[in-house]
Amino acid sequence: MVGTSSVGSGLSADQMKAAVGAVSSPDTVDSPFGRLEFFDGVPRPDTVSTAYDALDLMRGIEVFLNAVPGASLVAMRRGLRSAGITSARVIGLTEPRANSGSLYLTPNTETTYGTTFLDLKAWGPTVIEAPPDSLCVVDDFWFRYVADMGIAGPDRGQGGKYLFMPPGYDGDVPDGYFAYRCSTYTNWVVLRALGGVPAIKQSRIYPLSQGVAPADNEFVDLAEATLNSVHGNDFSFFEELDELIQEEPTEALDAERAGQLAGIGLAHGQPFAPDDRMRAILSRAAEIGAGLARTLAYEPRDPEATLYGSWKIPFVGGNYEFLRNGARLLDARTQYHYLATVVTPAMAHAQVGAGSAYAYTIHDSNGDLLDGSLTYRLHVDPNPPAKNFWAVDVYDTQTRSLLQVPSTIWPAVASNTGTLQANNDGSYDLYFGPTAPQGKESNWVETLPGKSWFQLFRLYGPLQAWFDRTWTLNEFERLD
C-alpha cells in the first residue's frame, strides 16, 4: 500500500509487564529513616514528612563531609583573631615553634610558623614580600591552592614580591610582581623560612596602594597564646560555614556544592535561621558527618591511601586537588582536611630532596588501636631517607591537635634536636607510653591512659629510598 511502512511489533506482553514493574515502586519501602508508604506510587502524608526529613539529613551530612575545608579556615581565622591577628598587618609567629597549648590540626613542633589572613575586600590588591629561603603558601577561603612563594614558588627561594588581587579586579597589574587573581576575598597565608623567626620577620604584607611607604608589620607570638582553631563537630559547624558564605561571592564555589549548601538553608544574602525541626536535623547531621569523617581519616578504604602495612598517607593520589582520572576524590578530600591544614602541590607531591613527606597510623603491629595506657616501641631502621631531618609528632585522636601531656609541650621526637639516642648500627628505638623506659627518656613521648593517639612521621627533604620503598617504616610494637 502506498504511504505505509513496516515497524517492529514492540514489547511482548511479558516484556511490558516487566518494564512497568521496573519503573514502579512498591507500596511499602523500609528505609534507615523509617517506613515509606505509597498509594500506587504516590507518597502518603506521613511518608512526605519522613522523606523530607531524610533528604535534609542526607544533605546535612554531605555538606559536612564536603565543606570541611571551608569550615576549617573559618575556625582558623576565628582562633587567630582571638590572639590579636585581626588584619594582615599583624602576623602570628610560633616562637620558637608550635606547642600543645592550643588546638591546631596536626602542626609540627620542629619548624617556626608565621600566619595571617588577607582581606582583599578591605585592602584591595595586596602585596606579600616573601623572605629568601622560605616555604610560603597562600590558600583561598575554601582552602583551595592559590600560590607558593619562596623555594617552591616562582622566586625559587630568592625572595620576591607577590601581588594578590580580589575577585573581579579589573585594574592595572603593575610590573615587578608575581601576580595572582583570587577567587575569594579572604585568603590564608602560611609563612615558613629555613632561617626561623628572624627570617620570617623579614616578611612584609601591605596594600598595593601603600607600596611606596607601607606601614610596618606587627608580629605576635602565638606560642604564648591559648586558642582554638579547629572547626566544630556539632551544629556550630554550619554556623561557621554561614560566615564564609555570606562574605564571599557566589562565584567562589562550584554550583554543585553551592546547591548542597542552599538545600539546607546556607546561601549568600539569605539569613541562616533553621527552625527547631531543621536545627535538630542538622545537629544530628553534624554528629553523623563527624563520625564518617573520622572513619575516612583514620580508616580510609581507598587502596591508594595505604602506604604499606598499617601506614597511611594524607594526600591520596599525590594530587593537591584530590583528582584522579578527572574525578574528585571526595573521601580523600575529607580525609585530608579533617586531619590537616595547608594545601600546596609541594606537600601533595614531594620531590626527591625537597619538600616533605608524611605517613601516619593508628594501629600497632597486631592491628590493635594505639592505647595511651600501653607502651610501644617504634624501631626506625638505619639511614632514614631525609636530606634535612625526620620527626614523629603525637596527636590527640579527638582534637587532631598535639597531645597535651604533663611532661612536655612538645610531644615529639626529632632527629634535629641533638638529644635523640641512636643505636650502634645507626637505627633508633622510639618509645611511646605513660612512663619512659629507664634510660630512654630522650627517645620517649608521653601518652595518656584512657586516650587513644596517633602520630605523623615526617621526612624533610625525602630521599629516593622513601619513594622507591627500599627503606620502609616498621610497625609499632607493643611492649606490655
First to last CA, the chain: 94
Neighbouring CB atoms inside 10 A of 365's CB total 15
**What is the per-residue pLDDT for 86?**
97
Residue 376 has pLDDT above 60, yes or no: yes
Q: Which residues lie closer than 8 Å to 70 by C-beta, 6 or more apart?
A: 141, 142, 143, 240, 241, 244
Peptide linkage before 274 cis (omega within 30 of 0): no
Nearest to 458 by CA among 371, 385, 368: 385
Range 44-83+232-298 classified under CATH 1.10.3360.10: yes
pLDDT band at 271 (very low <50, low <70, confident <90, very high): very high
Q: Which residues lie closer than 8 Å to 10 by C-beta, 6 or more apart?
A: none
pLDDT band at 126 (very low <50, low <70, confident <90, very high): very high
Of 3 and 447, the structure prediction assigns the larger pLDDT to 447
% of the chain surpassing 90 pLDDT: 90
Fold of the CATH domain 85-221: Immunoglobulin-like (2.60.40)
Strand partners, 401: none
Residue 5 has pLDDT above 70, yes or no: no
Per DSSP bridges, beta strands 428-433 and 135-140 are unpaired
**What is the per-residue pLDDT for 480?**
85
Mean pLDDT of the chain: 95
Cα–Cα distance measured from residue 84 to residue 100, given in angstroms and rounded to the nearest whole number: 19
The structure's pTM equals 0.94
**What is the per-residue pLDDT for 195?**
87
**What is the per-residue pLDDT for 108?**
94
- Tell me the CATH number for domain 350-478: 2.60.120.600
Domain residue ranges of the chain, discontinuous segments joined by +? 44-83+232-298, 85-221, 350-478
Average pLDDT over residues 172-187: 97
pLDDT in tens, 334-358: 999 999 999 999 888 878 887 789 9
pLDDT in tens, 291-304: 999 999 999 999 99
pLDDT in tens, 217-250: 999 999 989 999 999 999 999 999 999 999 999 9
pLDDT in tens, 408-429: 999 999 999 889 999 999 999 9
Q: Which residues lie closer than 8 Å to 170 by C-beta, 6 or more apart?
A: none
pLDDT in tens, 434-468: 999 999 999 999 999 999 999 999 999 899 999 99
Residue 131 has pLDDT above 80, yes or no: yes
Sign, CA torsion 224/229/230/234: positive
CA angle, 61 then 67 then 69, to 5°: 140
Q: Secondary structure of the chain in the HEC alphabet? A: CCCCCCCCCCCCHHHHHHHHHHHCCCCEEEECCEEEEEECCEECHHHHHHHHHHHHHHHHHHHHHHHHHHHHHHHHHHHHHHCCCCCCCEEEECCCCCCCCCECCCCCCCCCCEEEEEEHHHHCCEEEEECCCEEEEEEECCCCEEEEEECCCCCCCCCEEEEEECCCCCCCCCCCCEEEECCCCEEEEEECECCHHHHHCCCEEEEHHHCCCCCCCEEEEHHHCCCECCCCCCCHHHHHHHHHHHHCCHHHCCHHHHHHHHHCCCCCCCCCCCCHHHHHHHHHHHHHHHHHHHHHHHCCCCHHHEEECCEECCCHHHCCCCEECCEECHHHHHHHHHHCCCCCHHHHCCCCCCCEEEEEECEECCCCECECCCCEEEEECCCCCEEEEEEEEEEECCCCCECCCCCCCCCEEECCCCCCCCCCCCCEEEEEECCCCCCCHHHEEECCCCCEEEEEEEEEEECHHHHCCCCCCCCEEECC
Do the beta carbons of residue 381 and residue 471 sit within 8 Å?
A: yes
**What is the per-residue pLDDT for 354?**
79
**What is the per-residue pLDDT for 7?**
60
**What is the per-residue pLDDT for 355?**
78
Q: Which residues lie closer than 8 Å to 359 by C-beta, 6 or more apart?
A: 307, 311, 312, 313, 456, 457, 473
Nearest to 320 by CA among 356, 345, 351, 350: 345
pLDDT band at 377 (very low <50, low <70, confident <90, very high): very high
CA angle, 386 then 388 then 392, to 5°: 65
pLDDT in tens, 143-171: 999 999 998 899 999 999 999 999 999 99
Strand partners, 103: 228
**What is the per-residue pLDDT for 323?**
94
